[in-house]
Structures are given as C-alpha cells and as structure tokens.
C-alpha cells in the first residue's frame, strides 16, 4: 500500500470483551478470515486483528482487539478501553452466567475506564444453539436499552450476522458528527499529555525533584 493511501485511511479501534468461552476469538476469526475458528484455547492476554473496510470511496482500517476473559488477564483490557470508541460486550446465549457477568463485571468496568463517548454493543453469540437458549431476546433487549447499547445476535459458527454487525458499527466512522467528537476527544487527550510534559519540564527547570 502506498504511503499517501495509508494517510487517507481512517483508523477504527474495536474492542471485544466478555467471559472466557463466549466466542470472542471465533467472532473475530469469522469476520477477518471468513472461516470458523473454534476458540477452545482461551485467549491469553490480548490478540490483535485488522481488516480494511471500504465504502463510498473511503477506507477504514478496523483494528480489532480481542481481550482475555479470565480474571487474571482482566486488568490488561482496561488499558484499551480509553481509546476504543466501539466496544462489543459478548455473551453466550446458552450461558446465563455470561450474560449476568455483563451486568456485574463488564459493563461497570467499561463505564469506569472507557471513553464517555462511545458506541456500546451487547452481542449474543452462538444463536445456532437456539435450542439451548438460556437468555431470552426480550431480556437482552431490555438491558441493552437500559444502558443505551446496540444489540446484535450472531453466530460465529455459521457466520450469521457477523459481517453486518461489524460493518454497521464501522459505518459510524463515515459520519461527520461522530468523527468530530472522536477527533475532539483525541485532541483533548493529546493536549492533556502535552501540558503534563510541559509541567514536568517546568518543574525540572525550577529544580523540583521527583519522589524517587
């Protein structure tokens, strides 16, 4: 890809969170490769994937982060909430606990550490297991409305709903109002970092020493 083409590509960061075993890795694998990859081996730490999405002559690079669901890795995900303007919280429609953990663990964490402005989505995976459904669509819809989140039902196994979900979320990056808010937040963060560095430099010039 030519350098001038790279400069014209928007970068869209998407973070997936949820309990171990709900299918985050399989969802990403199905979207990026078109192949079902069983995530029997749980993600350790963080995995990263990319896919280019083009629409109306514009390109977006979807940077997709797959976070580990195990408690020992959970703190790693907090580092990625702040600059992720699209967050997907995944649960297994046949596993009631994975849905309850959205309420008790994942949503509170995202609310505490994530961007105030973001597209938040609740995603029920494994809809091919409809006979084993443990969470009704009505219950999921009620909670999604409560926290102002979009709701999707997908199957990484069959591919149902996967592409449509990612592309509909990425479409926000083609909206001027959305981009203005994203860019304003990024600038605010950069200004904050710049001022912090400037303050440190000022303290050093005045002879202030750190604590260690």
Residues 31, 8: Cα–Cα separation, whole Å: 23
Domains in the chain, number = 2
Mean pLDDT of 4-21: 81
One domain for residues 54 and 127 = yes
* pLDDT band for position 185 (cuts 50, 70, 90): confident
pLDDT of 78 higher than 70: no
Mean pLDDT of 49-72: 84
pLDDT of 205 higher than 90: no
Which of 18, 30, 10 minimizes the C-alpha distance to 110?
Answer: 18
pTM, two decimal places: 0.81
C-beta pairs of 28-36 under 8 Å, 24+ apart in sequence:
28/64, 28/66, 29/156, 30/156, 30/159, 30/162, 31/64, 31/162, 31/163, 31/166, 32/64, 34/159, 36/156, 36/157, 36/158, 36/159
**Which pLDDT does position 47 carry in this prediction?**
82
One domain for residues 158 and 206 = no
| 46-55 β-sheet, strand order | 46-55, 58-67, 10-18, 86-92, 119-125, 150-153
| All residues at 6 or more sequence positions from 164 whose CB lies less than 8 Å from its CB, including other chains | none
One domain for residues 34 and 127 = yes
pLDDT of 125 higher than 60: yes
**Which pLDDT does position 6 carry in this prediction?**
55
Write out pLDDT tens, residues 151-168.
999 999 999 999 999 999
Domain that holds residue 35: 3-174
User: Domain of 8: which CATH number?
Assistant: 3.40.50.300
One domain for residues 99 and 136 = yes
Which of 119, 159, 110 minimizes the C-alpha distance to 12?
Answer: 119
User: Which tops the pLDDT comparison, 40 or 86?
Assistant: 86
**Which pLDDT does position 87 carry in this prediction?**
94
One domain for residues 139 and 194 = no
One domain for residues 62 and 147 = yes
């Amino acid at each position: 890809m030519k350098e001038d083409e790279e400069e014209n590509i928007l970068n869209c960061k998407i973070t997936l969170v949820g309990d171990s075993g709900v299918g985050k890795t399989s969802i990403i694998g199905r979207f990026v490769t078109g192949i079902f990859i069983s995530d029997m081996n749980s993600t350790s730490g963080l995995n990263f994937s990319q896919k280019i999405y083009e629409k109306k002559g514009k390109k977006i690079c979807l940077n997709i982060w797959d976070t580990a669901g195990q408690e020992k890795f959970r703190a790693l995900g907090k580092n990625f909430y702040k600059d992720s303007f699209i967050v997907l919280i995944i649960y297994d429609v046949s596993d009631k606990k994975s849905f309850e953990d959205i309420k008790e663990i994942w949503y509170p964490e995202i609310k505490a550490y994530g961007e105030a402005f973001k597209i938040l989505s609740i995603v029920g995976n494994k809809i091919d297991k409809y006979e084993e459904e443990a969470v009704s669509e009505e219950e999921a819809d009620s909670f999604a409305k409560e926290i102002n989140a979009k709701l999707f039902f997908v199957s990484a196994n069959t591919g149902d709903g996967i592409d449509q979900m990612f592309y509909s979320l990425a479409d926000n990056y083609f909206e001027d109002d959305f981009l203005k808010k994203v860019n304003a937040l990024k600038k605010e963060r950069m200004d904050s970092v710049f001022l912090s560095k400037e303050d440190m430099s000022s303290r050093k010039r005045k002879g202030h020493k750190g604590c260690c």
